[in-house]
Structure 1
């Protein structure tokens, strides 16, 4: 009698233990082995990486429906990064721009039509309201190869806006409820959430929000943190259908005389606000709001956390994520560096492929239903 045992006929408990120990890419592949393995994956309910991965996007000029992902913050520290290609993301994927992520979900901007949300592992899409549905001062002019936004007689194309845009994305993995906030330049912000069939303006020059422009935004636990053009941190509570401006704010940011778009903010696990200049190939001083939220203190340590700048938040430093590290991206490269030593590392894919144009950090996750 043969002693050979089919891998597809492993005991359920043994198979589940194996699947739970896989990284997310191997797990996604394991779902396609056979019906028994797929059923076992469904029982696991969710898989999430503990450390940030790099996602590398195709050149917008190419007809490419795939992207690359890599666990380069761990593999890159010991050797050459290993890359995985995710296919079948849509024939138009290469011409669109990712402006925010949440787990395995990407907020994609189609320069000619609208925003949508895409899961890179399941290929699910969440259709967002069209720009024309906007309730506010924004007017939309459709053009042959682009979309033109008109705000108070001033206009900007999506191609120009994407270079000076900030966005946040939140998606509930189980219910697919979502929230999207997008700023177009310094002076215009809008949002949409589940149940809306329109975009709504967030006033930046008037009203109780008192934002006076937007240099950067971050989102954590139903709160939107806005670095205003007046160098204040304003907080909007999104726990209800309409956002509510909280009275708490931090004034007099340490980079008051710096030019816009060079300052980034983030939120720690304990909901303190961080701030740093966004410079290529450099780690500069990081500041943190004090316990009263009225001034800034210099940060010498992130106290067991790592700051993922592309996500606007810090995370507990576990597994491959190093404590006191900052992870950020610029164009086609991703970087990581020790805040205390100012030592830098970079993803080792400089000569990977000229068909890939930009990258960013994300923390992959997948929930099985």
Structure 2
């Protein structure tokens, strides 16, 4: 079995390009190309969401180099005007086209990707990563000639506003708001629709890094870790017995296993354990929190944490300082 069929690490050096790292052998397996001027935003299996130097989005198979070109960023179906100004600057105007609501730079574009390898269906979600100021995210699917806006604000409920993390699995988009409520959206139609009322995922611990994840059965998990030394991880599920979760400050229950599955936190999903593919049960494969955003001050910490034994496997031979990013990679996921 080749590494392109099993679990590996994609490394993104500061000088550009990407490389495939074999965690079992502890060595670089192969260089996958230079991709000059490109940023890798997200992946689904061997398909990667790429933004080039001309601010064009595309989906690229990093092995075959097959490319699917996506609509221009400014092609958004929205209630207000969104336009490109210059090489990398984008403006969003109000409904009267008079006042600038948002002034954004292409360097702040972040995204998510899901690809159905068999049917070649795909969903792309992207947004401008503005600290404490996320008003919209946009998405498109196969066959779309434009993106559709998803507002990230609620005029009557500030608990449901903003964005801290997102997970995309199939046509379901999970958004954690600034106040730690989770929205679940269905993107399978011509627009989007809320699947359920937003619900809080709050632990009793405040000084933690955190992420959400979704299991193969669709259960939402909260994952926390020590932001200073990374000496532990905690995993929680939603507490189903709370009568008034919206007014509670602790809405989750800690779990001590992943039910034999493994968590690829870069993708925000669990997958079945498979020792032949290098996937250990009840293990968290980690590089950093807060994807797809990019919080400054959060360094890479490439490791595997086993929930059952409370033990770490770290990759001390890797030069983290020479990397801009790294992501756990599994073909087909």
Q: What residue in structure 1 maps to residue 2 of structure 2?
A: 23
Q: Is the alpha carbon distance of 1:281 and 1:322 closer, same or farther for their aligned partners in structure 2, counting shifts above 3 Å?
A: farther
What is the match of residue 7 of structure 1? none
Secondary structure of the residue that 1:301 maps to in structure 2?
Answer: coil
Equivalent residue, structure 2, for 1:276: 223
Is 1:190 the counterpart of 2:135? The answer is no
Aligned-partner Cα distance in 2 for 1:345–1:142: 47
User: What's 2:329 paired with?
Assistant: 362
Contact 2:171–2:186 (CA under 8 A) maintained in structure 1: yes
1:153 counterpart SS class: strand
TM-score, normalised with respect to structure 2: 0.78
Q: What corresponds to 1:36 in structure 2?
A: none
The correspondence of residues 1-369 of structure 1 with structure 2, limited to 5 A, is: 22-25=1-4, 48-49=5-6, 52-59=7-14, 62=15, 64=16, 66-72=17-23, 75=24, 80-87=25-32, 89=33, 93-110=35-52, 112-136=54-78, 137=80, 139-144=82-87, 146-150=88-92, 152-159=100-107, 161-162=108-109, 165=110, 167-185=111-129, 186-206=134-154, 211-251=160-200, 253-254=202-203, 262-277=209-224, 279=227, 281-282=229-230, 283-291=232-240, 295-319=251-275, 320-330=278-288, 334-351=302-319, 354=322, 356-365=323-332
* Alpha-carbon separation, structure 2, partners of 1:239 and 1:208: 27
Contact 2:236–2:255 at 8 Å: present in 1 too? yes
CA separation of 1:150/1:342 partners in 2, compared to 1, >3 Å: closer, same or farther?
farther
Instruction: Report how far residue 193 of structure 1 moved.
Output: 0.9
Any idea what SS the aligned residue of 1:178 has?
strand
3-state DSSP class of the match of 2:74?
helix
Report how far residue 232 of structure 1 moved.
1.1
Aligned length in residues: 300
CA distance in 2, matches of 1:252, 1:103: 28
Contact 1:215–1:263 at 8 Å: present in 2 too?
no
Going by fraction, where is strand more abundant, 1 or 2?
2
| Cα distance in 1 for residues equivalent to 2:228 and 2:29 | 26
CA shift at 1:149, angstroms? 4.8
Asked if 1 retains the 8 angstrom alpha-carbon contact of 2:114 and 2:170, the reply is no
Instruction: Provide closer, same or farther for how the CA distance between residues 57 and 142 of structure 1 changes in structure 2, counting only shifts above 3 A.
Output: farther
TM-score normalised according to structure 1 size = 0.71
Please report how far the alpha carbon of residue 265 of structure 1 lies from its aligned counterpart in structure 2 after TM superposition.
Answer: 0.5
- Which residue of 2 is the match for residue 33 of structure 1? none
CA distance in 2, matches of 1:324, 1:286: 11
Larger CA Rg, structure 1 vs 2: 1
Structure 1 window deviating more from structure 2 (291-300 vs 189-198): it is 291-300
By percentage of residues, which structure has more helix?
A: 1
- What is the root-mean-square deviation in Å for CA atoms of aligned residues? 3.1
| C-alpha contact 2:160 2:198 (8 A) present in aligned 1 | no
Q: CA 1:267–1:352 in structure 2 vs 1: closer, same or farther (change >3 Å)?
A: closer
Change (3 A) 1:134 1:221: closer
> Within 1, Cα distance between the matches of 2:317 and 2:91?
36
C-alpha displacement of 1:195? 1.3
**Unaligned stretches of 5+ residues in structure 2:** 94-99, 246-250, 289-298
> Which residue number corresponds to residue 19 of structure 1?
none
